[in-house]
Structure formats: C-alpha cells, structure tokens
Structure 1
Amino acid sequence: MTYTARDQWDQHYSDGKGFRQLGERERELLAEHTPLPDGGGRALDVGCGIGELAAHLARLGYTVDAGDFADSAIARAREEHANVEGVRWLHLDIEHDDLAPLYEEGYDLIVMRLMYPFLRDRGRVVHGLGERLRDGGALVVITPVAETMPEERRGIALDEDEIGLVCAGWETMKRLDADGLAFLVLRGPCHTDTRAVEKRATTGHALTGALAIVTDDTGRVLLGRSRCGSR
C-alpha cells in the first residue's frame, strides 16, 4: 500500500484502517532514549494518524502537538483519545502548509513514526524539523526497512542507503531495533549539507556539477582522448 494523494489517505482512515500498533519495544526505547525532561517536555508527532503515539507521549507527561494532513485521521484521533489531556490535534501537512501553528519555542522530542518514506522532499522536511529541536532534543524516526518487506510493500520502507542519509549530518545518532523496525535517535545540529534520496518527484532541488579543464604547456585544451591515443 503506497498512497500518493490526500483523498486516498482520507479514505484509508474513513474505512477504519490504521497502521501497525505501537509496540512494547517502541515504548521501552522511547522511555530509555527520550525520557521526559525535568519539569515536563513538549513533543511533536508528525503524521500522527489516529493518534496512538501522541496519546502515549501525553500519558508520559509530554505536552504534545500531533499533526496529520488527513481530515479523517484527525477526526478519529480526537474521538478515540477524547479522554487524553495534553494533546493538541492539528490538521497539518508538514510539507506544504504554513507551519505557524507549531510551537514557536521548539520541541524536546519530534517523532516521525511509519511516515518518513511517504515524504516527497525528505531533506527539506527533516532539516526544518531539526531546526525546531530545543537544545538536547531528539528527532526519532521509526520506519520499516526494505530488507524485511515484500517487494509489493517496498514503497513504505527505507533501504540501508536511505537510512544512512537520514542519519547523516547529526552530532549523534543511534540505530536500534524495535521488533523489525529501525528506531533512529538523532541529536545535535540538524542536516545542513545533506539531502535524502527521494522515491518520487520532489518539490525541486538544485543540482551541483563539477568541471575540469586540462591544457598542455602551450595552452591547448584536451577535449578527449581514447585509450588508443587518438583525440
């Protein structure tokens, strides 16, 4: 299942579907590697779906902003977690919407669970989120890996090269296993000189090239030479 349009996602959630439930190992790793800061913390759940992770973080003591671009996802999250305090549900497209609703003073924890492979312009999004981390904060990316996915579901997973690009440009990174999911904990300066490999058309990238000119002592320019020595 690889959706490319918002209406497909709306239909997905309207049909009562969701994603893999938050596992016990994921809960353990979150508690171990992103403990609640003294005095409380603020978290952002990007692509929150029906809100299971956001509700879990709120129960841990975080004040949570949880956003998704599917209307039906946010509607279900509000209904299914109506008794959970400390969550602000946002109808928000992290790639295309004005991000003014996000908390100006930043976040101690930003989580992207089971949604990173669906981004079109991954590098720009991750860079922007990294800039919203408070000192000592962490970006956690939880994702399926390609080697454990059947070919027809490859679109929802990352291969090793893609995971390497996610982790590049950070001061520290930890890669952990959460029952077959890659659990990436990224801290420090956000991506400044890296861009992730895209699966689909992006919103636009600059291309950089390199050129070398070879001349001899008289200034003649070498246009090309075969192995046989002809020019």
Structure 2
Amino acid sequence: MFTTQEEWDRGYVEGRRYRPLGDAERSLLATRLAPVAGSRALDVGCGTGELAAHLSSSGYTVDAVDWSETALAEAGARYGDAARWLRLDVEEVEEDDGDALHVDGYDLITLRFVAPFLGARDRTLGSLGRRLRPDGALVVITPLAAATPAERRGIALDEDELVRLRSRWTAAERHDAEGLVVLVLHGPR
C-alpha cells in the first residue's frame, strides 16, 4: 500500500492504473447527485482524472486534487480544462486555507479509492465535510474488504469501518456498484 508522495508518483510512472469508472457508478452519480446550475465538485485523489472529467461533462465545475505530479500531468494532458488540477495533500489542507480550495465550498466531494489510504481518516473526512455547501454530499467509493483478496485488503474498507464512517454523518445511503460500496453522506456531525 502506498503511503508517501514518492510511492504514488513512482506507481504512476511505472504505469500503475486503477479500475476505470464503471457504468453503475456513472448511473448512481447521475440519478442521486445530478448538478444544478452553479454546482461545484471536488474530486479528492483524482489520479489520472477520469471521475473529474465525468463530473465536468455532467455539469459540475470541478476542482481535482491529487498528491502525484505524474497523475495530474496525465489528467491535464488527457482532459485539459475539464477541471482545475491541483497538487496537494488533502490531509494537510487547513479549513481556512482558501488558496488551494474554494472558500465558498462544494456541492459534491468525491473520494474514489481514497478513504482506505487516509492516515487521519476521521479528521480529514470531517474537514472535507465542513467544506460542503448546504445539502451537499460527500461520496466515498471503495472496495469492500471481504470481497478483496487478502494481499490487497489494505485498499478496501471493512464493514466495521463503513458503519463507523456512516455514524459520523446525519444521513447516509449505501449503494453497491459493480463490486464497490458507494456511500453518499450528508450533514457531518
């Protein structure tokens, strides 16, 4: 499991790529989280930009952040101005740091294949939750540990972790999408 910026960069340089965005995920985002005029999204851990580009084509104005320069360079080359591509460690961004992220908040914040890698998960998700606009949603997309081979369980969340995560929000929906768990969270506690 990658834990440093250098490891993430090296993984992308070596050609490591992750599961493409699936039709079930696209459908779920379209039906549950369709944007309205002026909607803003933040894609955390955007990697090579597929989800950020999808959100942009759906009508969101998108900020996409990743720790890897290599991933962001590929995202920018592939998807151009579909998003504002930002290199930063989301765990280090302070709530009042308006230089990197929009101070007026986001209607949607996505973390696809990111939550298991967060060292300070509760603090980081809480901080991101406070960046949501009223009625905004934080979406966590993750493999389920029980359905993940033992040698790769570090990239997934287990049922106890999912229950704990859901308990920190006033409203939480769980959806299954092609072997992934999609949590749609509203109202951080």
TM-score by shorter chain over 0.5: yes
Q: Which residue type is aligned with residue 31 of structure 2? A: E
Residue number in structure 2 paired with 1:51: 49
Q: Select 1:89's aligned residue among 72, 75, 85.
A: 85
Report the Cα offset of residue 16 of structure 1.
2.3
The whole-number CA distance in structure 2 between the counterparts of 1:4 and 1:91 is: 16
Residue number in structure 2 paired with 1:7: 6
* CA deviation map 1:89-128 (0-9, x unaligned): 0001001245431001000000000011000000000000
* Conserved 8 A contact 1:49-1:68: yes
| Higher-strand-fraction structure | 2
Q: Which residue type is aligned with residue 114 of structure 1? A: F
The 5-angstrom pairing of residues 1-231 of structure 1 reads: 2-37=1-36, 39-82=37-80, 85-97=81-93, 99-100=97-98, 101-188=100-187, 190-191=188-189
Q: Which residue type is aligned with residue 85 of structure 2? A: W
The whole-number CA distance in structure 1 between the counterparts of 2:25 and 2:175 is: 10
Report the Cα offset of residue 17 of structure 1.
2.0
Secondary structure, counterpart of 2:92 in structure 1: coil
Q: How does the TM-score come out when normalised to structure 2? A: 0.95
Q: Which runs of 5+ in 1 are unaligned?
A: 192-231
Runs ≥4 residues deviating over 6 A: none
Q: Which residue type is aligned with residue 92 of structure 2? A: H
Amino-acid identity (%): 50
Report the Cα offset of residue 31 of structure 1.
0.6
Q: Which residue type is aligned with residue 148 of structure 1? A: A
Q: How does the TM-score come out when normalised to structure 1? A: 0.78
* CA deviation map 1:175-202 (0-9, x unaligned): 00010100000012x13xxxxxxxxxxx
* Conserved 8 A contact 1:62-1:86: no
* C-alpha RMSD over aligned residues: 1.1
The whole-number CA distance in structure 2 between the counterparts of 1:76 and 1:17 is: 12
Q: Which runs of 5+ in 2 are unaligned?
A: none
Secondary structure, counterpart of 2:64 in structure 1: strand
The whole-number CA distance in structure 2 between the counterparts of 1:113 and 1:132 is: 18
Q: Mark the structure with the bigger radius of gyration.
A: 1
* Conserved 8 A contact 2:52-2:82: no
* CA deviation map 1:21-43 (0-9, x unaligned): 00000000001111112x23000
The whole-number CA distance in structure 1 between the counterparts of 2:124 and 2:33 is: 21
